Amino acid sequence: MNCFKLSSEQLSAQDHYDFGMRAVNTVISAAGLNKRSQPDADEAILMLRALKDSNLPKFLTDDIVLFSGIISDLFPGVKLPDPDYGSLMEQLMASTTDMGLQCVPQFMTKAIQLYDVTVLRHGLMTVGPTGGGKTMCKNVLAKALTALNKQHGEYYEVRQLVMNPKSITMGQLYGSFDDATHEWSDGILCKLFREGVYDTVERQKWIVFDGPVVDILTLQLDAKFPLQNDLRADICETFPGRPVD
């Protein structure tokens, strides 16, 4: 709790920063996963890794420096070993090249961070300037995970169900009720959810809103799914450049 209290006081004010109980719960979940995978490891190292993996992806570059200073004060003398992503990093680089992209270190780091957040969260948001690589980052990650699953039986296959919510009306997105005929018409989002549920192949289904972030869309998501907080776009990945408001 001290970590998040200090972070809320010292880091810059960003709409996608969250230092409340949801952030605490994410860190606890990450620490639990680390403990199960490395039961004999030092718990200080496991907790420090959980704090970094669940928080660094959403911070701006300047705030990463401040956050690193905060956790170094809270965990004096604790040094994290370099994480080994092994086959995942190799396949990410291969998939990046296959898609005609360059393996820029920061792009690869963001792909790894995106993977880490998908392990912890059911819903997330990538934010950044137009052309910052948000769409390509998720595509590279999906391609790499699918390739590893098919070639070596590792990780999982990914199927993306993509839509642009800003290209249609709210009624077309969520569905609408006709006052004249008293008939309900499903929206595109309903159909995508249904398609994902009816797909019985053992793989992850990513329902992707590939479009700009607007307040009305977030408010509508809150209204439509009041009990499903993980469906909200509440965790953000920041990409190189100035973040979009």
Helical H segments across 59-133, by residue range = 61-74, 87-98, 105-120
DSSP 207: E
The region that residue 153 occupies, defined by phi over 0 for left and psi between -120 and 50 for alpha, beta otherwise, is left
Taking the model in full, what pTM does it have? Answer: 0.78
pLDDT at position 214 is 67
pLDDT in tens, 154-199: 899 999 999 988 888 888 888 888 888 888 888 999 999 999 999 9
Residues of the chain with pLDDT under 50: 223-245
Task: Report the alpha-carbon distance of residue 121 to residue 235 in Å, rounded.
Answer: 8
Q: What is the DSSP string of 111-154?
A: HHHHHHHHHH-S--EEE--TTSSHHHHHHHHHHHHHHHHHHHS-
Task: Report the alpha-carbon distance of residue 44 to residue 51 in Å, rounded.
Answer: 11
Instruction: For strands 183-186 and 175-178, give the pairing.
Output: antiparallel
Q: For the chain, list the strands marked E by DSSP.
A: 125-127, 158-163, 175-178, 183-186, 204-209, 236-238
The number of beta carbons lying within 10 Å of the beta carbon of residue 110 is 25
Token pair in block for residue 47: 């907790």
pLDDT in tens, 117-131: 888 888 888 888 888
pLDDT at position 74 is 87
pLDDT at position 192 is 92
> What is the domain partition of the chain in residue ranges?
2-238
Architecture of domain 2-238: 3-Layer(aba) Sandwich (3.40)
Token pair in block for residue 155: 């990780």
